[in-house]
Amino acid sequence: MEKFFITTPIYYVNSKPHIGHAYTTIIADAFARYYRFKLGDDNVFFLTGTDEHGAKIAQSAEKLGKTPQEFCDEISGQFKNSWQNLSIEPNDFIRTTEERHEEVVKKILSTLKEAKTPKGNDVIFKGNYEGLYCVGCESYKKETDLIDGKCPDHGTAPEFLHEENYYFKLSDFGDAIAEKIRKDEIRILPQERKNEVLSFIEQGLEDIAISREQVKWGIKLPFDENQTTYVWIDALVNYISALGFPDSENYKKFWPADVHLLGKDILKFHCIIWPAILIAADLPLPKDLFIHGYFTIDGQKMSKTLGNVIDPNEIVFEYGAEAARYLIISQFAFGQDGDVKAEEFKIKFNADLANGLGNLVSRTLGMIEKYCGGKIPAGKYNADLDLNNLWTVVDANYSNYRILENLKEIWNAISWCDGYIAAQKPWVLAKENKQAELEQVLYNALEIIRHIAFLILPVLPQTSEKILDLLKVAKTDFESAKQINGLTVGAQLTQTEPLFLRK
């Protein structure tokens, strides 16, 4: 792999950022940081942004007496701020109300208008539709999708719509998409999600409306000014519009995406509609789609009505950006659902950050000060913890989106090092005047800490930098970081404040 293009979904601006949005975005940021480190900054592109058109947004703006654009500017700004507060550094933040995006949507629609399906039919045709539309989902629903007449995801009754729309002949694309998914030309992960998509396709795909007559807040169709583009078609195109499709260097370099990250609720849009658009437009398909689970809070769905929505900024306020990143993404395995219990943040903060990582660094530096005059002692790494293997495992886990497993590996190394110090007892070696042995033990501990500092870089970027500064290790390239015996013997170290203060 020479380049890495990772995306998050673009978030609807009808509500403020919450912990679910933060979860995907922090993980994407961690992946981007890992691959920037491994492949070089210029070879990674991390994209996020906001999804700003459609009936849902227009209605939310109207309720507040604002114009849709004012409303979008405000909430999109809140997303940007929240990401800054969490040290999230995307290469670009796309907004679907930007001209650069609207132009590309029109270009794609014009291409589709001329295109044929794999079965030789027109991709776009005009038709009438009557049906139940859920504004929350921004999609039509079947009677059988509803529970007591209401959308199960939004708890609201869909409205009955009758419109003349333009259609996308999705029903002609099922076989082509299924084949690409089966052959892993589009890799859908985890495996159960791949099966879910395939069995959905097997049941037969229905054509979808790609324009709306009654929605004004949207991108006008290039071939019919009286209709606006269906918000999902508009939104999916962000993944190429942000790169500057079709002629820019970024597009040529970074498309297709190496991975789109998304939640399970938007699986069909990404795994069926998006590939169909790309096949119809004769464009390359994304390589991986990784589908993650849902956060519940104390066993309940997060919702405004229940008042249990967690604002990621509150976690930053309480614990700082670094810890917030760690706490949010270490809740459950990436790809599964998981429940968040707010009181567990504190327990985990104390156990893993203040006591675990923070304490290992400060106690080791304390001993260097006490027993080695503050200087890195001479030594050659000879502890039993296999650091080369640790890097190999971590790299493989990144390739398989196993980020929680990586945190576990790193924290196991921290515990291993704690145990090693406890077993070797440098304080006893000091009393027995075994200075050479003592120095070797502390050298090993420092070398493990140096590796840990590089390994935590994707998730805890500032802490990584702080530890490397403390160890007088220069920021270096990936291959040099992984070398064993990378410490500068004789460097004078300084003591510092604890990295994380116990709560």
Enumerate the active-site residues.
18, 21, 134, 137, 151, 154, 301, 304
**Nearest approach, Cβ of 30 to ligand MSP (angstroms)?**
16
The conformation of residue 41, written as its DSSP 8-state character, comes to G
Give the nearer residue to ligand MSP in terms of CB position, either 79 or 371.
79
Strand partners, 208: 168
Give the nearer residue to ligand MSP in terms of CB position, either 202 or 265.
265
Q: Which of 269, 234, 267 is nearest to 54 (CA)?
A: 234
Token look-up 């195109």 returns 237
Give the nearer residue to ligand MSP in terms of CB position, either 51 or 439.
51
- The DSSP secondary structure of 53-78, one letter per residue, reads -SHHHHHHHHHTT--HHHHHHHHHHH
Find the distance separating the first CA and the last CA of the chain, reported in whole Å. 42
Query: Helix (H, G, I), strand (E, B), or coil: what is residue 395?
Result: helix
**Nearest approach, Cβ of 259 to ligand MSP (angstroms)?**
13
Determine whether 241 is exposed, middle or buried from the number of CB atoms within 10 Å of its CB (0-12, 13-18, 19+).
buried
C-alpha–C-alpha distance, residues 217 and 229, integer Å: 9
8 A C-beta contact, residue 404 and residue 329: yes
**Nearest approach, Cβ of 257 to ligand MSP (angstroms)?**
11
Interface residue list for ligand MSP (CB under 6 A):
9-12, 20-21, 23-24, 51, 235-236, 238, 262-263, 265-266, 294-295, 302
The conformation of residue 142, written as its DSSP 8-state character, comes to -
The conformation of residue 490, written as its DSSP 8-state character, comes to T
**Nearest approach, Cβ of 372 to ligand MSP (angstroms)?**
47
**Nearest approach, Cβ of 263 to ligand MSP (angstroms)?**
2
**Nearest approach, Cβ of 429 to ligand MSP (angstroms)?**
50
C-alpha–C-alpha distance, residues 229 and 249, integer Å: 27
Q: Which residue is nearest to ligand MSP (CB)?
A: 263
C-alpha–C-alpha distance, residues 486 and 473, integer Å: 8
Beta strands 224-229 and 211-212 are: antiparallel
